[in-house]
Structure 1
């Protein structure tokens, strides 16, 4: 990587879990590795220490607020940071902070970049105006072609200002060759799965109405007669599905989902295990991974992480999944919200010879390494910074 001795200020509401937060960390690491300074303005969060360990600097500003007065005050705070720290470029990753960052960039005459980490809904004039902060960057980055198409549909942006840079994953971290059996056992010890889980399915997703948990439960209800456990001859495998993700404020929904498992007769097949601190090990445990979202995801990190771990992924046929998964080659795509279609795809995975499943996983990793590595994402993003700074120079 060539030298990049510039000071970059990223602005993100909080540093907890999520695509925007993880990408903020990865870009901070890349800027520091290239010889620059990486500043992050935010309200704090679990990834603060990771940013600092990477050589970045945290600046606490209440940028998560949507209050118009706070947004206006934040603009002044960010402008002061730009002047004091001699910031060369501001990069905003969310709508409310983008308004403050835009004003600060204009006041200080430095370039302004935004990244769309999701495809925002725009109903009504007020919401469209609020969302438009993300369209006002000197460069606007979309994390998938799907997101870019949604941005273009909004209008008001010239194609020359729009760059498509797919979200990246760390293919060295998510590498099956680096995961030991002991590490898998440590990560899954508290899941209470028993000794013979049969075919192992993992669904890494926070408890949310649109992530597809209800569809997954309905799909297993369709499969329980055949794969609820081994038959008398032992020819049919059992089936275990792990919901890996916390409620994060959706405790009432989790309660309803558990009740649905009981009502559907699949409670013994489905395990709610909360968040997992070692996701590479969790993927390594699984035979296949589910991502049955009922609404289109802008990118779909799970599909690429699982693919990098050589696991076939069964996802909904919409959004970013159509870019990250090649149907029947690196995984399977099923109609969104269709339990019958999801069950059919799961059955295909169960009945595949292990050798065929292995080949599918190998193709998935090759695709992840080739197209969706965090290194490629970081290089492309720094390329956007360089070109924009060169134009201004």
Structure 2
């Protein structure tokens, strides 16, 4: 089969879907990545895969521009003569479905969180919900969801029938790359918290900084790190992040293609998100490395944590609730923190193994391709 993997950035495809493409290639399939070009498009090509540029604005809402993006994607699909499309991210899912109307290709969208639009509600949320209903109900062969809340919402709204919906435990994690590592505080004493995310307010960055400030006032010597790209268009400027660093509240690490090495230097992964997440990749990666997790009691985030066993759930938008959870971690003896990390690793192996996720894709592709051939 010839399969396209579609998303709104090449960065996303390289970091989250490269292993899936490699596995599908070992099964004899031909793969092509489709996304707007960015520096990671070259990395996909260096890995031996074709990449096709798709003109798309990640946050644009101009109707004329968006229709042009759909038509450009439709032309890409026609030129590639695809058997199947695996789509990701809201625009990737909706526009892939629209571009495939009238074509026999199998469409398998992945709903990896519903994003800020669904969290905010309003007319735009209603529009996106209507587009999902139009595209997925009529065009998708099967839909993967990364958390139970999103799947239940789509089924209840009549967007998808239960027999065409399936829950996957996030994107999965490479258990060899993100191997169990000892907590550094066990030997050096000083505890390090790490937040890995796109640096936008919805990920809980301001709450993280305020919790760090409160712990500093109490005399804590813990380190509070941030890893991720700043998004100047979403309310957190690089200047603001630098100001927090100059104040001594956080250490900004920039971005990295070697996330395991950064995580190995941390003791606890934090993500106080109120974004409508799928299952946050950074949290399951941290858990796989034996890091306890502190995150919010929100869809997707709560799926990563067994509260009190592998980490904590705090209230969204509450710096105080986050501070309390971080203080509990700081108050634990080193041996208890390590034991919690070991339980986090065990849970990650049981629930988030990337190879199991890839197996589900392989099975779904074979099943629906067989059905498509029968119906041809």
TM-score w.r.t. structure 1 length? 0.81
* Cα displacement string for residues 3-31 of structure 1 (whole angstroms, at most 9, x for unaligned residues): xxx22122223202x4x663332321111
Equivalent residue pairs, number: 355
Pick closer, same or farther for the CA change 1:96–1:222 going to 2, 3 Å: closer
1:1-393 matches, within 5 Å, as 6-16=1-11, 18=12, 22-62=15-55, 67-74=65-72, 76-83=74-81, 87-120=82-115, 121=118, 123-124=122-123, 125-132=126-133, 133-135=135-137, 136-166=139-169, 167-177=171-181, 198-228=190-220, 238-249=221-232, 253-256=237-240, 259=243, 267-393=247-373
In structure 2, the CA distance between the partners of 1:105 and 1:73, relative to structure 1 (3 Å rule), is closer
The 8 Å contact of residues 227 and 239 in structure 1, kept in 2 or not, is answered as no
2-structure distance, mates of 1:349, 1:254: 29
Deviation of 1:244 after TM superposition, in Å, equals 1.7
Alpha-carbon shift at residue 242 of structure 1 (Å): 1.0
What whole-Å deviation, never above 9, does each CA across 1:126-147 have from its counterpart, x for those lacking one?
Answer: 3433344345411111122233
1:289 offset after TM fit, Å? Answer: 1.7
Closer, same or farther in 2 for the Cα pair 1:11/1:244, shift >3 Å?
closer
Alpha-carbon distance between aligned partners in 2 of 1:27 and 1:10, rounded to the nearest angstrom: 10
Q: Per-residue deviation at 1:359?
A: 0.9
Q: Unpaired segments of 5 or more residues in structure 1?
A: 1-5, 182-195, 229-237
| CA distance, structure 2, for counterparts of residue 28 and residue 47 of structure 1 | 15
> Aligned partners of 2:361 and 2:159: how far apart in 1?
22
Query: What secondary structure sits across from 2:192 in the alignment?
Result: strand
Superposed displacement of residue 221, structure 1? 2.8
Q: Kindly indicate whether the alpha-carbon contact (under 8 Å) linking 1:201 and 1:286 is maintained by their aligned counterparts in 2.
A: yes
Distance 1:90 1:373 in 2: 23
1:172 is displaced (CA, Å) by 0.9
Identify unmatched segments of 5+ residues in structure 2: none
Taking the aligned partners of 1:357 and 1:206, their CA distance within structure 2 comes to: 27
Cα deviations by residue, 1:26-63 (Å, 9 ceiling, x for unpaired): 32111112221111222222332443344422223335
Q: Deviations over 1:209-265 (max 9, x none)?
A: 11112212222233224333xxxxxxxxx2111122221325854444555677xxx
